[in-house]
Amino acid sequence: MARARTVYRCTECGAEHARWAGRCDACGEWNTLVEEVATPRAGDGGAARRKAGVGALGSGGRVAQTPRLKEVVGAEDHRLRTGLDEFDFVLGGGIVPGSMVLVGGEPGIGKSTILLQVAAQLEATGVPALYVSGEESPLQVKLRADRLGAGEVSLLGETLLETILATAAARAPAVMVVDSIQSVFTGDLEGAPGNVGQVRECAARLMRFAKESGTAVFVIGHVTKGGGIAGPKTLEHVVDTVLYFEGEGSLDHRVLRATKNRFGSVDEIGVFRMTEQGLIPVENPSALFLGDREKHHASGSAVTALLEGTRPLLLEVQALAAKAGFGTPQRVTTGYDARRLALLLAVLDKRAGLAFANLDVFLNVVGGVRMQEPAGDLAVAAALASSLYDRALPPDAIFVGEVGLGGEVRAVSQVERRIAEAEKMGMRTAYVGERSVPRRGSRTIRVEGVPTIADLFRQLFR
């Protein structure tokens, strides 16, 4: 079989080169040439086509059908349920046939484990699944499968993309898992597996296979030192859904977050607990993250209610302000943006008179979760003030609100759902912005509206 012709294309300007070079001759950028399969341009062979009588429409095309959207067959929701409720929740209700899902995360966090569990759950319900392992041998996969009870899953140990697609087309599985996209390569490109050209071409062909065959394809992606998925950024644009595994390796729970989802809400999270039998879904994440708080309640600890997608979640924020030992005071954060912390410290100094200039400040979001929503600002400010005054906050209180540069506490969305989750967890007081106070009060939880952080501190530390 004749090999496809390839060219090296600049990712900055799109100029083509016959061979690889360190610098693009057209735009002058360095290390931007990527190998791609050459496709004939629309203008190539124009004289020959005109001679053959082919007009501006070109050749090889056909008139396609254009049905109305309401007439599309199979538009109903036929999602595949995996039996892992948290996994289905993050996907938006289950696996959509013909979709392509990218799963990323740190090494050893559980990407291969959960997808092998998903394949085993589907096989147990009569849904055929194919697990393609390009990084581990069949014996290594079997050792994990024996522990997870996934012995009935069909396994393919292959890295050549053409063989993977031919096998999948012959077996016609409902779900195919590729572990990982960086280990798969196509013989049409000269580059080594994992480079930009190979990853992009393999992902595009897998996506085309998923759409044409109706097989749902899961691909595992490596991550860079910065935490992003390795390879071209277009990899995340090609797929339908992007899932990230979060969590500390020393903790026994993992957080699966959807950062892109064409079939459901974005930023949904699912919480799992790592055990010897694999990843077990956690039905009540708030209870997990607040489990040890009652026994070790001290100053510098505050609870907030965040919305992760459509799910309210209670998290504990811990702050410690201590005298600087030497030089410039430190600002260390875990699970919180360091620049946001610097902004809040400036607001506390200017608007509330709390000086942290000569103190080391350490901030930690308990449980290994990253706090991205600004609704947690009020809890961070309360925890910092509590540590500075060395006075504990009420253990049954939550703090929900965004702190502005003027020290005002701004309103947040869906505060009723946050308060309902706090009420379920036994909280008795909720401090929110004045405009966030719901019209209909609750019988078991008292909602206090605070206009500024200075007013909040006067109530807590007077």
The CA distance from 243 to 281, in Å, is 16
Rounded Cα–Cα distance for residues 36 and 33 (Å): 9
Residue 254: exposed, middle, or buried by beta-carbon count in 10 A (0-12, 13-18, 19+)?
buried
pLDDT reported for residue 399:
97
User: What is the fold, at CATH topology level, of the domain defined by 79-283?
Assistant: Rossmann fold (3.40.50)
- Confidence class of residue 249 from pLDDT cuts 50, 70 and 90? low
39 pLDDT more than 80: no
Confidence of residue 416 (pLDDT cuts 50, 70, 90): very high
Q: In a 3-state reduction of DSSP, which class is residue 288?
A: helix
**Could you tell me the residue ranges of all domains in the chain?**
1-41, 79-283, 288-461
For the chain, the average pLDDT equals 87
| DSSP 8-state symbol, 28 | -
Flag whether pLDDT at 454 surpasses 70: yes
Q: What is the pLDDT of residue 228?
A: 62
Averaged pLDDT for residues 202-217: 95
Burial of 281 (0-12, 13-18, 19+ CB in 10 A): middle
Average pLDDT over residues 62-77: 75
- CATH no. of 288-461: 3.30.230.10
Asked if residue 299 lies in contact with residue 392, where contact means CB atoms within 8 angstroms, the answer is yes
pLDDT at 44: 47
Give 311's pLDDT tier (boundaries 50, 70, 90).
confident
Tokens representing 177 are 């898992």
What pTM was estimated for this model as a whole?
0.77
Residue whose entry in the numeric block shows the structure tokens 């595994």: 245
Q: Which residue has the higher pLDDT, 272 or 441?
A: 272
> In this model, does residue 43 exceed pLDDT 60?
no
Q: Find the range with the poorest average confidence among 35-49, 168-182, 339-353.
A: 35-49
User: How would residue 120 be classed by pLDDT, with cut points 50, 70 and 90?
Assistant: very high
414 by Cβ neighbours in 10 Å (0-12 / 13-18 / 19+) ranks as middle
Which residue would you say has higher pLDDT here, 432 or 44?
432
At 172 the pLDDT is 95
Do β-strands 269-275 and 278-281 pair in parallel, antiparallel, or remain unpaired? antiparallel
CA end-to-end distance (rounded Å), the chain: 83
In percent, the amount of the chain with pLDDT more than 90 equals: 57
| Model pLDDT, residue 445 | 92
User: Hey, which of 57-61, 290-294, 390-394 has the most confident mean pLDDT?
Assistant: 390-394
374 DSSP assignment: G
Q: What pLDDT does residue 396 have?
A: 92
Confidence bin at 54 (pLDDT 50/70/90): very low
More confident residue, 402 or 52: 402
What is the number of helices (H) and of strands (E) in the chain? 12, 21
Confidence of residue 3 (pLDDT cuts 50, 70, 90): low
Can you give the length of the chain in residues? 462
Q: Which residue has the higher pLDDT, 406 or 443?
A: 406
> Would you call 378 helix, strand, or coil by DSSP?
helix
